[in-house]
DNA sequence: GTGAAAGCGCTAACAT
DNA sequence: ATGTTAGCGCTTTCAC
């Protein structure tokens, strides 16, 4: 258990100098610094970060609140986040909330008890449910419009409009939607884009075409079953994430409905699996890694500087055309 | 910034009593304890865990080393892990190694610098590459046979044999394999099961039928392309994980090879997506959540007691028959 | 440029 | 059952 005192003794300096050699090398003469470094190396000294963190009232930990880690979109985002955080000397603490607000409370306690310096929230903001304490360093990632704290995201409304525009350009006019939960902000933002597109094309909005899912594959399957029972089926289906699109597509096909010949399907997220469905899925590519990196960057700045020059970071998305949408013209 | 001293003053006791009320409530009289609790509540006192951890030389953090968080099998395992850890008062620190040993080194530094109490390793043990320091509390999860530290896993060899046995029982004799990297221990264990099955059935092992992948979808696709170019194609394909199976299946189909009519496909892991492929994938269900929970449990025991009553925890797997395998008989 | 010393918030002997 | 006190390993004034 070699500590700072031992190194000081070996190097023949005071513990203050050892500390300075690490944290403020410029305040130590080149010669003594060398002596200290050498002592550290021969004794394989590793500063006790618990003491360091305690003393400097910084944990160098970022808490990420994720509704479902098993969704590869979130997992990929977190990979980016972690990659960046690591380069800045921060580690990431995982908080899988299972989409339950009460679980968030438990994790937020890590902040209060000083075990994390800030949080990255992957669940879109909900005014009713949010329990963000004041002055908590927090940034939203892949969130929604109107988040009251800094956030990094794409323009969900515009992206949804892009998808719908494309469906319409392919001759579809009866376009179904498999949405997330009605009061989820992603659902709202994306539905707005869908409706805008319809409106511009002069197609009347038909709410019976919107089926409520909850961003899970099981819900995508259920939604597809509802589509199967409709008398007048849509010719195309816009699913608000790839998980639901993948499940819906499979459900449709296993019930004898061909994709895209009978019903076209589009997704949202561009998780890797969407490239390997049959047919490969047309979808919106959210730059998951980049959103994660950027969110980490903003959070760390917020922690270290106490403020951000800018609060909204809207990243570009890409529309990926594959083979799950058929042209009607 | 309300600290233990303030609470002591408010409650009219010493700081020792405040500390005891929290950590050893039985050593404090009911009456004073109530006073202390009340003071804590009215002042919303949250103990500074950085100080607590520092003082007790425990970080209450578990480091999980994962080769690729975007693989839902790992993500699901981690969910289980985290769920259990949380109940025991531990948090999980994420270390995505991108399957690079040198990245492991960076993360293991978190242990040396006392920022984590132990590690859960999700990459199977490799004698050549492993850099596990002595006396490091570590448990392997979803690892391989012969791991020199405690591990929680299924019997990979037996599971692979189960799959192959089934394929043979359906009349297949020319069974291809898409494996992981040749020197990966999962590849070795599972290949052994495959060969055992063949041997018992009196089928000669043909190494030209084994195509090396690397557990990624991209490699599954490449492997499938190799199968497509074979003169004498296998009638069935055993893929060593679902990601490769999913990619292979899609590649086969998009090249006009029907699954399972022309080639049967089986996977390994039973990630959720394998239920929604077309056709749904026959595969081995690894109890990911349960492996994660159990691994966390063992690691915490190891940390707190310094030893484990038992070092090998082999959990049951399940063979899931869906529709991607056809009977030849 | 360097050292002496105080102290971060808490825990745990030790004393009463 | 409760209080006094030393000290965990480190950072940072404050002197020199």
B86/A78 Cβ within 8 A = no
As a whole number of Å, the CA-based R_g of chain A is: 25
CB-based contact, A114 to chain B, within 8 Å? yes
Residue B204: CB atoms within 10 Å: 7
Instruction: State the pLDDT at residue B132.
Output: 82
| A269 touches A241 (CB < 8 A) | yes
Q: Which residue of B has its CA nearest to A78?
A: B69
User: B-chain residues within 8 Å CB-CB of A322?
Assistant: none
Instruction: State the pLDDT at residue B129.
Output: 83
Instruction: State the pLDDT at residue A130.
Output: 81
Residues 217 through 246 of chain A touching chain B, CB cutoff 8 Å: 217, 221, 246
Instruction: State the pLDDT at residue B321.
Output: 98
pLDDT value at A17 more than 80: yes
Instruction: State the pLDDT at residue A158.
Output: 98
CB-based contact, B100 to chain A, within 8 Å? no
Q: Which residues of chain B have pLDDT under 70?
A: none
CA distance A160 to chain B (A): 24
Instruction: State the pLDDT at residue A151.
Output: 97
Considering only CB atoms, B82 lies closest to which of A57, A96, A249, namely A96
Instruction: State the pLDDT at residue A133.
Output: 82
Parallel, antiparallel, or unpaired for β B91-96 and A91-96? Answer: antiparallel
| B246 touches B220 (CB < 8 A) | yes
A57/B115 Cβ within 8 A = no
Report pLDDT digits (tens) over B19-56. Answer: 999 999 999 999 999 999 999 999 999 999 999 999 99
Residues 6+ away with beta carbon under 8 Å from A12: A35
Report pLDDT digits (tens) over B268-318. Answer: 999 999 999 999 999 999 999 999 999 999 999 999 999 999 999 999 999
Report residue A267: phi and psi, to 5°.
Answer: -120, -160
User: B-chain residues within 8 Å CB-CB of A253?
Assistant: 278
Q: Which residue of A has its CA nearest to B281?
A: A250
Alpha-helical runs (H) found in B170-316: 185-201, 217-228, 242-254, 288-305
What is d(CA A319, CA A269) in angstroms, rounded to the nearest whole number? 10
Q: Which residue of B has its CA nearest to A63?
A: B93
Instruction: State the pLDDT at residue B1.
Output: 75
**To which residue do tokens 């903003």 refer?**
A298
B109/A96 Cβ within 8 A = no
Instruction: State the pLDDT at residue A131.
Output: 80
Which site among B45, B96, B269 would you substitute to test the A interface, given the most A Cβ atoms closer than 10 Å to its Cβ?
Answer: B96
Which site among A43, A59, A75, A104 would you substitute to test the B interface, given the most B Cβ atoms closer than 10 Å to its Cβ?
Answer: A75
What is d(CA A268, CA B324) in angstroms, rounded to the nearest whole number? 27
Residues 243 through 282 of chain B touching chain A, CB cutoff 8 Å: 246-247, 249-251, 253-254, 272-273, 275-278, 280
Instruction: State the pLDDT at residue B108.
Output: 94
- Per cent of chain A over pLDDT 90 is 96
Work out the burial of residue B7: count CB atoms within 10 Å of its CB; fewer than 13 is exposed, 13-18 middle, 19 or more buried.
buried
> Where do the domains of chain A lie, and which CATH numbers do they carry?
4-42 (no CATH), 59-154+288-316 (3.40.50.2300), 156-285 (3.40.50.2300)
B49/A114 Cβ within 8 A = yes
B82/A94 Cβ within 8 A = yes
User: B-chain residues within 8 Å CB-CB of A278?
Assistant: 249-250, 253-254, 277-278
Average pLDDT, chain A: 96
């Amino acid at each position: 258990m070699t500590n700072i005192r031992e190194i000081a003794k070996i190097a023949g300096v005071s513990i203050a100098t050892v500390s300075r050699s690490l944290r403020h090398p410029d305040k130590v003469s080149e010669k003594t610094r060398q002596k200290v470094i050498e002592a550290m190396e021969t004794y394989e000294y590793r500063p006790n970060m618990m003491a360091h963190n305690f003393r400097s009232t910084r944990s160098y930990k970022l808490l990420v609140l994720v509704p479902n880690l098993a969704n590869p979109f979130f997992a990929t985002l977190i990979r980016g986040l972690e990659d960046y955080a690591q380069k800045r000397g921060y580690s990431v603490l995982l908080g899988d909330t299972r989409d339950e607000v009460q679980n968030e409370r438990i994790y937020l306690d890590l902040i209060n008890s000083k075990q994390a310096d800030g949080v990255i929230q992957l669940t879109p903001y909900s005014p009713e449910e949010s329990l963000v304490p004041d002055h908590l360093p927090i940034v939203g990632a892949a969130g929604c419009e109107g988040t009251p704290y800094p956030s990094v995201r794409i323009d969900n409304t515009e992206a949804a409009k892009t998808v719908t525009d494309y469906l319409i350009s392919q001759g579809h006019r009866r376009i179904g939607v498999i949405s997330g939960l009605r009061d989820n902000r992603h659902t709202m933002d994306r539905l707005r884009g869908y409706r805008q597109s319809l409106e511009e094309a002069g197609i009347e909005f038909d709410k019976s075409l919107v089926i409520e899912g909850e961003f899970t594959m099981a819900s995508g399957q259920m939604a597809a079953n509802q589509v199967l029972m409709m008398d007048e089926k849509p010719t195309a289906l816009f699913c608000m994430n790839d998980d639901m699109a993948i499940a819906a597509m499979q459900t449709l096909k296993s019930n004898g409905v061909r994709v895209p010949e009978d019903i076209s399907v589009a997704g949202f997220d561009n998780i890797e699996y969407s490239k390997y469905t049959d047919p490969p899925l047309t979808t919106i590519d959210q730059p998951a890694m980049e959103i994660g990196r950027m969110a980490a960057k903003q959070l760390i700045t917020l922690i270290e500087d106490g403020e951000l020059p800018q609060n909204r970071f809207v990243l570009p998305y890409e529309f990926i055309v594959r083979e799950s949408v058929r042209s009607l013209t």
